[in-house]
C-alpha cells in the first residue's frame, strides 16, 4: 500500500519552443520514506509535483509511483490513480470554500472508492474517519464544524488539508510548502501532527519546502537544484 | 446524489446572492415567455370562438374582413344596408335552415345596439356549439323590450325592469337620442366571452319604431309620434345591415354562397366566417409574432446573465478547481460541474418563473376579463408551454458550455499546482 516513487531520465518542457524546465536523470523515494525536497523558486518544484500527480507528462523518461508507470497511463487512468493513491497538501487555500470542515476532509473519498472503503473499514463510515483524522490533527470538530471553513485560521486550514491528504490511507502524501504560511508555533504543531499520522499509517511523504531549517526532521534530503540539470538554465539558454 | 451534483449545489448555495439574481432574471424572462404564450393562445381561441355554427354571413358588398368586423365583432360600420326584400328572397332558399337578421347603427352609452329577432336567441352559437342563455329575465317580446349582454349589465349596473334610452349613431355619447321612446330591460344574457356581452339587443321592430319619425338622421320636429301610437303602426323594417345564415347541409355552403354573390337585384356579399376569421387573425399575426420574438430575446438575455455570472466566478474558483483535480477529479468533471450549475440555475429560474407566471395570471385575470373581455384560464401548463420550459433549461445547459469550457481550459493549464 505504501508507495515508492521513481523518476528516471525525465525531461519536461511546457511547449516545444520553450526551454526544458526539468531534466532529472534519477530521483527516487523509497516506500515509507520521509523525504525533504528543497529548491529555490524556478528550480522546477511546481512541475515536479504536477508530474508526480500525473497531471503533467514528461516528454521523455519514466515516472513511477508504486511500481506503476504513470507515463504509460491514459489521462483518466492517471486521474483515477491520483485519487486512489496520492494525498496532496498545498501551500495555502487548501479548502473548498463552500464545503464544510468534514466534507473537505472526506473529499477524496467522493472521488475514490478505494479510499472510501478503507476509511469505512477503519472507522465505520467515511464521515467518522474524517472526524477521527480531524481530531488527530488537533481540531475540535464539534465546535468548528458549524462555521464556514474560510473562517478557520491558516494553521487550522492546513491541518484540515492534512486530514484530507491522509483520509483513506493513499500511501503517498505530497506536501507543497505546507508550512510557509504558518507562524513558528503553528508550524511546529502542524509538523508534529503530520508526522504522527504519517508514521501511524506508514505512508511515504514527499515534503517540498525552501525552509532548510526543517531538513533535520526528515529521513533524507534531496536538493532539487542538484538533481535537476535544467535548473538555473532557464534564463541562461 | 453523485459527488458532482452535491458540489454543484453547495457551490451555488455559497454564492446565493449573485446566483439568486441570475435565477430571478431567468424567472422574469420565463414569466414573460409564458404570459405572452398564454395570452396569445387564449386570444386566438377566444377569437375563433366568437361565432360558430353559422355557415355564411351576408351583407352589402364590401370586403370579407369589414363585413366580419361589423356583423360579428360590432366594430366599424357598414357602408350599405340590405333591403328587406332581398333578405326575404335569399332567406327563402330551400337549402337554408335559418337566418338571423342584424340591424346596426345605434348605441347605448358606448355599447352597440343590435336589432334582431327571436331567431338570434335560438340559433346563434359561439365557442363551437354553445347557445345563448339568459342569466335573468327573458328574451324581448314587446317592441320596447331590450336584452342586455352580460358586460353591458355589469358596467352600467342594469337589472331587469330598468329603463334604457338609445342614442342615435355610435359615438361614445350620442349627440341625439331616442329619449322619447325608452326601452325596458326584459332580460340579461349570461356571459359568453364574445362581443355579445357588449351588445344591447332589441327587436327589429324596436329599431324601426325609434326611427319612424326621423328624417335624414334627425328627429322630424313637425311629426312627432309617441310610443303608444307607434305600436299600432307597421313596424316591418325596410332594410337590415347583415344576416347570418345556417344551412340544412354544409355541403351546400359554396353553392349558396355563389348564389348570394350573384344575386341580381342588389350587390350582396356572402362570406364563410371561419375563413374570414382566419384572414383577420393573420392580419394580427405580425404583432403577435413580434411579441413572441421579444419574449424569446428576453429569455436569451436572462441566460446571458447567468453565463456572465458563471464566467466571472472562474478566476476566483481556480484554487477550487486545483483542489478538485488534486483529489482525482477528471477535467471532464470540472466541465460537468459548470454545466450542472448552469442547468440548476436555469431550472430554478424556470420554476420561479412558473410561480411568478401563475401569481401574475391570478392577479391579471379579472383585469383581462373586465378590460378586454379575454378570459384566461388558470390551468396547468399546456404542452407548448411545457416544451418552452424544457427548452429554457436546455438552452441554459447549452449556454453553460461557455463557462464550462473556460473552467476546463484553465484547469488543464493550471494542473493541481497553480504557478503563481
Q: What is the pLDDT along chain A (237 residues), one digit of tens a residue?
A: 677 888 888 888 877 888 888 888 888 888 888 999 988 777 788 888 888 888 888 888 999 898 888 888 888 898 899 999 999 998 877 889 999 999 999 999 988 999 999 999 988 999 999 999 998 888 888 888 888 888 888 888 988 999 999 999 898 999 988 888 888 888 888 888 888 888 888 889 999 988 888 888 888 998 888 888 876 544 433
Rounded distance between C-alpha atoms, residue A136 and residue A87, angstroms? 17
Residues 6+ apart with CB under 8 A from B253: B55, B56, B247, B272
Rounded distance between C-alpha atoms, residue A13 and residue A35, angstroms? 25
Give the pLDDT confidence score for residue B19 in this predicted structure.
93
Q: What are phi and psi of B268, to 5 degrees?
A: -120, 160
Cell digits of residue A97: 470554500
Give the pLDDT confidence score for residue A232 in this predicted structure.
56
Task: Give exposure, A114-148, as e/b (b: 16+ Cβ within 10 Å).
Answer: bbbebbbebbeebbebbbbbbebbebebeebeeee
A19-33, B237-251, B330-344: which range is least confident on average?
A: A19-33
Task: Give exposure, B26-49, as e/b (b: 16+ Cβ within 10 Å).
Answer: bbbbbbbbbbbbbbbebbeebbbb
Mean confidence (pLDDT) of chain B: 88
- Mapped onto helix, strand or coil, the DSSP state of residue B22 is helix
Give the pLDDT confidence score for residue B401 in this predicted structure.
94
Cell digits of residue A2: 505504501
Cβ distance B327 to A108 less than 8 Å, yes or no, reads yes
Rounded distance between C-alpha atoms, residue A71 and residue A51, angstroms? 9
Q: What are phi and psi of A42, to 5 degrees?
A: 95, -5
Residue B294: pLDDT band with limits 50, 70, 90: very high
Rounded distance between C-alpha atoms, residue B53 and residue A73, angstroms? 76
Cβ distance B328 to A76 less than 8 Å, yes or no, reads no
Contacts of A107 in chain B (CB under 8 A): 323, 327
Quote the ipTM score. Answer: 0.87
Are B299 and B399 in contact by the 8 Å Cβ rule? The answer is: no
Mutation for testing the A interface, residue in B18, B327, B330, B414 having most A CBs under 10 Å: B327
Give the CATH number, domain containing residue A198.
Answer: 3.40.50.300
Beta bridge partners of B147: B187, B201
Q: What are phi and psi of B319, to 5 degrees?
A: -60, -45
Q: Which of B10, B324, B330 is the closest to A76 by Cβ?
A: B330
Rounded distance between C-alpha atoms, residue B101 and residue B118, angstroms? 10
Rounded distance between C-alpha atoms, residue B314 and residue B395, angstroms? 20
Are A226 and A41 in contact by the 8 Å Cβ rule? The answer is: no
Are A81 and A64 in contact by the 8 Å Cβ rule? The answer is: no
Residue A60 lies in a domain: yes
Pairing of strands A22-29, B111-116: unpaired
Q: Which of A56, A97, A111 is the closest to B328 by Cβ?
A: A111
Beta bridge partners of B53: none
Q: Looking at the 3D structure of chain A, how many domains does it have? A: 1
Cβ distance A98 to B323 less than 8 Å, yes or no, reads no
Residues 6+ apart with CB under 8 A from B272: B55, B56, B253, B257
Which residues in A have their CB inside 8 Å of a CB on B?
Answer: 46, 49-50, 53, 55-56, 75-76, 79-80, 82-84, 88, 90, 93-99, 103, 107-108, 110-112, 164, 176
Cβ distance B415 to A88 less than 8 Å, yes or no, reads no
**Tens digit of each residue's pLDDT (9 = 90 or more) over B29-63:** 999 999 998 888 888 888 888 888 899 999 999 88
Give the pLDDT confidence score for residue B314 in this predicted structure.
87
Residue position matching grid coordinates 357588449:
B198
Cell digits of residue A211: 525552509
Residue A237 lies in a domain: no
Distance (Å) from the alpha carbon of A25 to chain B's nearest alpha carbon: 23
Measured in whole angstroms, the distance separating CA B302 from the mean position of its chain's CA atoms is 28
Residue B373: pLDDT band with limits 50, 70, 90: low
Give the pLDDT confidence score for residue B48 in this predicted structure.
81
Radius of gyration of chain A measured on its C-alpha atoms: 18
Residue A104 lies in a domain: yes
Give the pLDDT confidence score for residue B318 in this predicted structure.
86
H-type helices in B124-203, by residue range? 150-156
Q: Give the other-Cβ count within 10 Å of B393's Cβ.
A: 21
Q: Which of A50, A80, A107 is the closest to B417 by Cβ?
A: A50
Domain that holds residue A159: 5-227
Distance (Å) from the alpha carbon of B328 to chain A's nearest alpha carbon: 4
A77-81, B168-172, B346-350: which range is least confident on average?
A: B168-172
Nearest CA in chain B to A113: B328
Tell whether pTM > 0.90.
no
Cell digits of residue B260: 348570394
Distance (Å) from the alpha carbon of B309 to chain A's nearest alpha carbon: 17
Give the pLDDT confidence score for residue A236 in this predicted structure.
38
B137-146, B256-265, B317-326, B408-417: which range is least confident on average?
A: B408-417
Cβ distance B327 to A107 less than 8 Å, yes or no, reads yes
Residue A10 lies in a domain: yes
**Tens digit of each residue's pLDDT (9 = 90 or more) over B190-213:** 988 888 998 999 999 998 888 877
Q: CA nearest B311: which of B404, B411, B393? A: B404
Which residues in B have their CB inside 8 Å of a CB on A?
Answer: 3, 6-7, 10-11, 13-15, 319-320, 322-331, 415-417, 419
Q: What are phi and psi of A12, to 5 degrees?
A: -140, 135
Rounded distance between C-alpha atoms, residue B242 and residue B116, angstroms? 10
The full 3-state SS of B74-113, as one line of letters, equals CCCCCCCCEEHHHHHHHHCCCCEEEEEEEEEEEEECCEEE
Residue A25 lies in a domain: yes
Residues 6+ apart with CB under 8 A from A179: A158, A186, A187, A190, A191, A209, A211, A214
Measured in whole angstroms, the distance separating CA B128 from the mean position of its chain's CA atoms is 16
Rounded distance between C-alpha atoms, residue A81 and residue A52, angstroms? 11
Q: Which of A50, A56, A111 is the closest to B327 by Cβ?
A: A111
Give the pLDDT confidence score for residue A235 in this predicted structure.
46
Residue A234 lies in a domain: no
Q: CA nearest B241: which of B84, B52, B50? A: B84
Cell digits of residue B382: 399546456
Q: Is the pLDDT score of B301 beyond 60?
A: yes
Q: Which of A50, A76, A111 is the closest to B415 by Cβ?
A: A50
Amino acid at each position: 500500500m505504501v508507495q515508492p516513487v521513481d523518476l528516471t531520465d525525465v525531461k519536461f518542457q511546457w511547449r516545444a519552443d520553450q526551454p526544458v524546465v526539468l531534466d532529472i536523470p534519477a530521483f527516487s523515494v523509497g516506500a515509507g520514506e520521509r523525504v525533504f525536497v528543497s529548491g529555490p523558486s524556478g528550480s522546477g518544484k511546481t512541475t515536479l509535483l504536477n508530474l508526480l500527480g500525473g497531471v503533467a507528462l514528461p516528454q521523455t523518461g519514466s515516472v513511477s509511483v508504486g511500481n506503476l508507470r504513470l507515463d504509460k497511463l491514459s489521462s483518466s487512468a492517471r486521474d483515477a490513480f491520483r485519487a486512489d493513491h496520492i494525498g496532496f497538501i498545498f501551500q495555502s487555500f487548501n479548502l473548498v470554500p463552500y464545503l464544510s470542515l468534514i466534507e473537505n476532509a472526506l473529499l477524496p473519498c467522493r472521488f475514490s472508492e478505494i479510499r472510501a472503503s478503507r476509511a469505512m473499514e477503519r472507522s465505520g463510515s467515511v464521515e467518522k474517519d474524517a472526524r477521527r483524522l480531524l481530531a488527530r490533527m488537533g481540531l475540535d470538530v464539534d465546535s468548528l464544524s458549524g462555521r464556514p471553513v474560510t473562517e478557520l485560521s491558516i494553521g487550522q486550514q492546513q491541518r484540515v488539508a492534512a486530514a484530507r491528504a491522509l483520509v483513506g490511507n493513499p500511501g503517498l502524501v505530497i506536501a507543497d510548502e505546507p508550512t510557509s504560511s504558518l507562524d513558528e508555533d503553528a508550524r511546529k504543531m502542524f509538523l508534529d501532527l503530520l508526522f504522527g499520522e504519517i508514521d501511524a499509517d506508514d505512508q511515504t511523504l514527499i515534503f517540498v519546502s525552501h525552509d532548510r531549517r526543517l531538513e533535520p526532521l526528515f529521513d533524507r534530503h534531496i536538493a532539487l537544484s542538484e538533481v535537476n540539470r535544467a535548473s538555473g538554465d532557464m534564463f541562461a539558454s | 446524489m453523485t459527488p458532482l451534483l452535491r458540489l454543484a449545489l453547495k457551490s451555488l448555495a455559497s454564492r446565493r446572492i449573485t446566483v439568486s439574481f441570475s435565477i430571478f432574471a431567468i424567472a422574469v424572462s420565463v414569466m414573460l415567455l409564458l404570459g405572452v404564450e398564454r395570452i396569445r393562445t387564449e386570444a386566438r381561441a377566444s377569437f375563433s370562438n366568437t361565432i360558430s355554427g353559422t355557415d355564411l354571413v351576408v351583407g352589402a358588398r364590401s370586403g370579407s374582413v369589414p363585413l366580419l368586423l361589423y356583423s360579428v365583432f360590432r366594430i366599424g360600420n357598414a357602408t350599405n344596408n340590405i333591403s328587406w326584400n332581398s333578405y326575404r328572397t335569399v332567406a327563402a332558399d330551400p337549402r337554408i335552415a335559418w337566418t338571423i337578421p342584424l340591424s346596426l347603427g345605434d348605441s347605448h352609452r358606448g355599447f352597440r345596439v343590435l336589432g334582431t329577432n327571436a331567431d338570434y336567441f335560438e340559433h346563434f352559437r359561439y365557442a363551437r356549439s354553445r347557445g345563448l342563455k339568459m342569466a335573468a329575465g327573458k328574451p324581448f317580446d314587446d317592441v320596447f323590450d331590450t336584452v342586455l349582454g352580460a358586460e353591458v349589465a355589469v358596467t352600467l349596473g342594469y337589472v331587469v325592469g330598468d329603463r334604457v334610452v338609445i342614442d342615435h349613431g355610435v359615438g361614445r355619447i350620442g349627440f341625439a337620442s331616442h329619449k322619447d321612446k325608452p326601452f325596458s330591460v326584459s332580460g340579461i344574457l349570461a356571459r359568453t366571452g364574445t362581443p355579445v356581452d357588449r351588445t344591447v339587443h332589441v327587436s327589429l321592430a324596436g329599431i324601426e319604431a325609434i326611427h319612424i319619425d326621423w328624417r335624414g338622421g334627425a328627429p322630424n320636429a313637425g311629426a312627432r309620434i309617441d310610443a303608444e301610437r307607434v305600436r299600432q303602426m307597421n313596424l316591418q323594417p325596410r332594410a337590415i345591415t347583415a344576416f347570418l345564415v345556417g344551412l340544412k347541409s354544409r355541403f351546400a355552403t359554396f353553392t349558396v354562397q355563389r348564389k348570394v354573390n350573384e344575386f341580381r337585384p342588389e350587390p350582396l356579399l356572402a362570406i364563410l366566417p371561419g375563413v374570414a376569421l382566419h384572414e383577420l387573425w393573420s392580419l394580427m399575426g405580425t404583432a403577435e409574432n413580434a411579441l413572441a420574438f421579444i419574449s424569446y430575446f428576453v429569455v436569451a438575455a436572462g441566460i446571458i446573465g447567468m453565463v456572465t455570472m458563471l464566467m466571472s466566478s472562474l478566476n476566483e474558483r481556480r484554487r477550487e478547481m486545483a483542489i478538485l483535480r488534486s483529489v482525482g477529479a477528471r477535467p471532464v468533471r470540472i466541465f460537468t460541474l459548470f454545466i450542472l450549475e448552469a442547468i440548476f440555475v436555469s431550472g430554478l429560474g424556470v420554476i420561479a418563473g412558473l410561480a411568478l407566471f401563475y401569481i401574475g395570471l391570478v392577479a391579471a385575470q379579472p383585469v383581462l376579463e373586465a378590460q378586454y373581455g379575454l378570459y384566461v384560464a388558470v390551468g396547468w401548463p399546456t404542452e407548448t408551454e411545457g416544451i418552452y420550459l424544457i427548452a429554457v433549461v436546455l438552452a441554459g445547459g447549452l449556454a453553460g458550455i461557455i463557462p464550462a469550457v473556460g473552467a476546463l481550459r484553465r484547469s488543464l493549464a493550471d494542473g493541481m499546482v497553480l504557478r503563481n
